[in-house]
Amino acid sequence: METSEEFYPTYTEAHEAGLIGPHKWIPGFIPKSSSDIRITYDLDTNEIWLRFRHDPEDMKSIMSTCEPEGPYRVTNYPRVPCRGRDWWPSDLTVGTQAESEVLWCGQVTGKSWNRLGYIVIDRERRTAYYWEHGS
């Protein structure tokens, strides 16, 4: 397994590094107010684990395009990213139950056009967690 972990203090820095947008590691929908951006991605499987802080006002557009999980969609939590990734919450991994509301983002334009993306928004901490399953 070949993974990479990166940190960007601001959206601008992640964007300038070429990581944000369609078919990139960071989906283009994250708000420009995003900060403290941490991402781990697996080059072999294309799995993505992303965390970013945000301005709550900027998250309204994301929340309007996503739907709460319901009886017809069961969250498929990702596996634990890798050792030492303590920024990823332990309750958002396989075999656990999130304490926060999980939003299903359907065909979100992320690294792949045909995979589902999931996002959890921790409103109290102004932090979002996003993941895509690999191929």
- Label residue 110 by pLDDT band (50, 70, 90): very low
Domain span at residue 57 reads: 3-132
Could you tell me which residue, 84 or 25, shows the higher pLDDT? 25
Q: State how far the Cα of 77 lies from the Cα of 33, in Å rounded to an integer.
A: 26
Indicate the number of domains in the chain.
1
- Checking if the pLDDT of 27 tops 80, the result is yes
- Checking if the pLDDT of 54 tops 80, the result is yes
The 8-class DSSP code of residue 25 comes to S
- Label residue 62 by pLDDT band (50, 70, 90): confident
| Residue from 28, 99, 14 nearest 65 by CA | 28
- Checking if the pLDDT of 100 tops 70, the result is no
Residue 14's Cα: distance from chain center in Å?
Answer: 14
48-53: strand order across its sheet = 3-10, 35-42, 48-53, 127-132, 117-122, 102-104, 67-68
Could you tell me which residue, 119 or 112, shows the higher pLDDT? 119
pTM reported for the whole predicted model: 0.78
Q: State how far the Cα of 109 lies from the Cα of 86, in Å rounded to an integer.
A: 26
